[in-house]
Amino acid sequence: MKHLSLKSPSLKEKLLEHSIRPTAQRLAIADFVLQKGRHSTAEMVQEHLKKFFPHISLATIYNTLNLFSKKGLLKEYRFPHSGHVFFDNNTQPHAHFLDENSQEIYDVPMEKVNISLKNDSFEIQDVEVLFKGTLTNKGGQSG
Amino acid sequence: MKHLSLKSPSLKEKLLEHSIRPTAQRLAIADFVLQKGRHSTAEMVQEHLKKFFPHISLATIYNTLNLFSKKGLLKEYRFPHSGHVFFDNNTQPHAHFLDENSQEIYDVPMEKVNISLKNDSFEIQDVEVLFKGTLTNKGGQSG
DNA sequence: TTCTCTTTTTAGAACTATTCTAAAATTAGA
DNA sequence: TCTAATTTTAGAATAGTTCTAAAAAGAGAA
């Protein structure tokens, strides 16, 4: 347990600010999904928490991820390469890049994306953009 | 059975051109997914075929949709509002619009979309664009 | 503290979407 | 018409997620 920053005031306060009671399980999940993993699935959370909470229930993980999403700490995404729901701790508008080699998802800041639509049939409220391809020597980026 | 254009030469030939043996089930599925439905799920195919093939197996529907995709007649998509896989008979590059009222998916021709990326980290092979919002008085469009 | 009430966690059942399995039916070609 | 390969089928299996109801934990009052 000593390896987990469960007592991190900022994390605990972050949950409280969002009216989420900071239980031990929720802090452990928050530590991973909000600070470590960028695009976490329930499975990834479970795998990561194994050493701290070997008996944590998948239901708790799903409950918590869904709660965090409802409270605005995470945003849900589905990507074409996987049946899993991904929980992204970047809740600001941004695009994604899927590396077809590693199946890894990277964030692409909207400043780098230029998108427009000639249209008179619908009112756009949101756009989801997924670039697919392969990483070059420079490596991925995020944020 | 008389309501189904099962004997349509063009449909049968289309399958043959793609090295797909035109069985009765496949023709019935093709009639729907290639000519009627734009973004079909297995469930929608089953529902539509009920009157023609009340005992068709879901496995046959999935087998056929996956075969059509492999042969290039359909393209698979996953959208954020549904856990179902959607099979799109428009296999050319295009964007999508999701009407949040009806949960209906519409095609958006790429000519209407302008997208570019300032990037030096990855080689783009494909882009998926999903606009979300509501239809205006003009109604949806496709193709 | 202790009591009580509410919230959270849990294991396992249930559910949804899809794939697998192995046997039966269909088909194509000799 | 025979044979071998392909396709279809029902139902089991699998994957991912949600539901259920009971146990545990937590918050606030007395």
**B interface toward A at CB cutoff 8 Å?**
76-80, 83, 95, 97, 99-100, 106, 108, 111-136, 138-141
How many Cα atoms sit within 13 Å of A36 on the Cβ side? 14
Question: B5 pLDDT band (50/70/90 cuts)?
Answer: very low
Nearest CA in chain B to A122: B135
Please tell me the predicted confidence (pLDDT) of residue A20. 97
**Looking at the domain covering B9-73, what would its CATH class be?**
mainly alpha
| CB B55 within 7 Å, strand C | no
Looking at CA atoms only, how far is residue B115 from chain A in angstroms?
A: 4
**Rounded CA gap, A31 and B16, in Å?**
55
| CB B23 within 7 Å, strand C | yes
Question: A3 pLDDT band (50/70/90 cuts)?
Answer: very low
B:78-97 Cβ neighbours of strand C under 7 Å: 82-85
Between strands B122-135 and B94-99, the pairing is: parallel
CA dihedral of residues B38, B41, B46, B47 (deg, nearest 10): -70
C-beta of residue B70 within 8 angstroms of C-beta of residue B19: no
Residue nearest to nucleotide C17 (CA to C1'): B84
The region of weakest confidence among A78-92, B1-15, B49-63, B86-100 is B1-15
AA letter at B59 = A
% of chain A exceeding 70 in pLDDT: 89
Rounded to an integer, the average pLDDT of A114-132 is: 92
What is the fold of A9-78? Arc Repressor Mutant, subunit A (1.10.10)
pLDDT of A137 over the 70 cut? no
Residues A73-121 pLDDT 10s: 999 999 989 989 999 999 999 999 999 999 999 999 999 999 999 987 8
Indicate the domain borders of chain A. 9-78, 92-133
**Rounded CA gap, B7 and B4, in Å?**
8
Please tell me the predicted confidence (pLDDT) of residue B9. 60
Looking at CA atoms only, how far is residue A13 from chain B in angstroms?
A: 31
Distances (CA, A) of A112 to A90, A143, B74: 16, 11, 31
Please tell me the predicted confidence (pLDDT) of residue B7. 46
pLDDT of B142 over the 80 cut? no
Give all strands (DSSP E) within A57-112, no chain letters: 75-78, 85-88, 94-99, 104-109
Residues A25-38 pLDDT 10s: 999 999 999 998 78
A83-116 core/surface letters (b: 16 or more CB in 10 A; e: else): eebbbbbeeeebbbbbbeeeeebbbbeeeebebe
| CB A46 within 7 Å, strand C | no
